[in-house]
Each structure stands twice: as C-alpha cells, then as structure tokens.
Amino acid sequence: MNAQAAPRMASRTQKSASVSKQDIVQVAAQLLAEGGREALTSRAVVAAAGVQVPTIYRQFGDMRGLLNEVATYGFAEYLRLKAAGTLGSDPVENLRQGWDLHVQFGLDHPAIYTLIYGDPDPEAPFTAAVQAQAVLHGLVQAIAEAGRLRVDVTCAAQMVHAAGCGTTLTLLALRPEQRDLTCSALTRDAVLAAITTPLDEPTTAQRSQVANRAVTLKAALPEVTTLTPGERTLLGEWLDKLSRAEK
C-alpha cells in the first residue's frame, strides 16, 4: 500500500464509523421512497450513506435486517397517526376508522406499504407487520368484548386484514386517477357487516344470542385467572363449537 492510499482508506473508515445505524436507515428509506424496492440494494445504500458494505452486515446482520428496520421506521408514522386518533365508545366505528387509516397510509406511502405487505414471509415477518396485526387484534378484541362479534376474534382479524391489504394493494396497482375510494368503503362495510352485529339489532333469536355470547366469553378467556391453562384451552374449544354451531 502506498503512502497516499493509506490516508484515503483511513478517511473512509473514519467516515463509516461516524455514520449511525439510524442514519443508514433514513438513507435507505429515502432510496425506497424515491425508487421503490428495486432501488434498495446494498450497493446503493452504501454509496448514498457513505459507508462500506461490511458496515451494513455489522449493523443489520443482512439486507433483510436492514429492510426490517426501514419498514419499522416508515411504519412509525402510521403508529403516530393511530395514537393521535381518539377512540370512541363504539368499537365497530373504531375499526371502521382504523380501516380507512390503514388504506390511506398505504396510498400515501406506497413503497413502505408494499415492502411490508407485498412479499410477506410467515417465517420472519417484518416487525411493522407484527405491530399492525397487534393494533388490528386489539380493535377486534374490543368488539368481541362488547358482545358484537359474530365470529371468533382470530377469524375476524384475518378477514379484515385480508380484505384491507387486498384493497390497498389493488388500489396501488392502479394509476392515481383510477383509484376510487368508494370501493374501499364498500368492501370495508361488507366485511364489517359479516363479522359484527349492529348496535341496535334485535336479539330475538336464542341461537344467535348463544353464539354471540360464546364469542364474547372466548375473547375474555385470556383475562381469566381462576382456570388453569388446560381448562382455558378446553373451554375455548367448547366456545368455538358453540359460536359456530348456534348460528
């Protein structure tokens, strides 16, 4: 190594050391927003961040680790918007508003949204996807505890997730001028009608009452401390049968 090369290498190393993990995530998020997933390569990130390739693997393990951090960083805005909203007394209305916020976030941040939901890995889901699922589960759980859920909490959450993601990704596949949010609203209302009961629905049918109460009790089981885990599991299986058979 000649005398001139050594200072240059030392300078690059010092610069890499001065770039924080958060700096790299922000640079990667900007690349994603500007060029989509295809623009987010290790070569592009190190060039834009002014670091060396080993820095990426030292900080994030691999590119999947970096993508996870970028998704979490981008999703933080969604969580801020969610926290800023005020939950009302009607849990079904809260879920309706949650749907609209989810879809709008996807339309406003298409690169982050497709990164999170466009190519899911069930073995290693992004942290952002897990966080979003937890938010959704909480909204559905509240409906069950209010006695207004027609189906099991897990099933209802999966239905809302599938319909919401499908709607958002379908809208993103269209040109902006072709997107009709009326379709989102109609899909949302159809799913809510399938999984919930109206606030003022008459409950004259005893079979429906039994099913709804079974779902409500199943939702409350995790809070029951007087039963052993085995007893809770067995009771949960019985309640599942009642919720399906009594409809």
Residue 125: give its domain's CATH number: 1.10.357.10
The answer on 74 and 192 residing in a single domain is yes
The answer on 28 and 45 residing in a single domain is yes
- Arithmetic mean of pLDDT over the chain: 85
Q: At what angle do helices 63-84 and 21-35 cross, to 10 degrees?
A: 80
Look at residue 222 and give its three-state secondary structure: helix
Work out the number of other CB atoms within 10 angstroms of the CB of residue 55: 19
Confidence of residue 3 (pLDDT cuts 50, 70, 90): very low
| pLDDT at residue 202 in the model | 46
The answer on 98 and 165 residing in a single domain is yes
| Length of the chain (residues) | 247
Structural domain boundaries enclosing 163: 63-201
Distance of alpha carbon 215 from alpha carbon 153, whole angstroms: 8
The answer on 213 and 158 residing in a single domain is no
Distance of alpha carbon 112 from alpha carbon 133, whole angstroms: 16
Q: Indicate whether 45 belongs to any domain.
A: yes
**Closest to 150 (Cα-Cα) out of 205, 76, 97:** 205
Work out the number of other CB atoms within 10 angstroms of the CB of residue 238: 12
Instruction: Count Cα neighbours of 82 within 13 Å in the Cβ-side half-sphere.
Output: 20
Please tell me which residue, 191 or 77, carries the higher pLDDT value: 191
Please tell me which residue, 105 or 85, carries the higher pLDDT value: 105
Residue 121 — φ and ψ, nearest 5°? -120, 105
Q: Indicate whether 4 belongs to any domain.
A: no
Instruction: Answer whether residue 15 shows pLDDT above 70.
Output: no
The answer on 176 and 124 residing in a single domain is yes
Distance of alpha carbon 135 from alpha carbon 129, whole angstroms: 10
Please tell me what DSSP assigns to residue 95: H
Beta carbons of 77 and 106 less than 8 angstroms apart: no
Please tell me what DSSP assigns to residue 109: -
Q: Indicate whether 96 belongs to any domain.
A: yes
Instruction: Answer whether residue 154 shows pLDDT above 90.
Output: yes
CA trace torsion 184, 159, 84, 219 (10° rounding)? 150
The answer on 134 and 81 residing in a single domain is yes
| pLDDT at residue 243 in the model | 78
Work out the number of other CB atoms within 10 angstroms of the CB of residue 197: 17
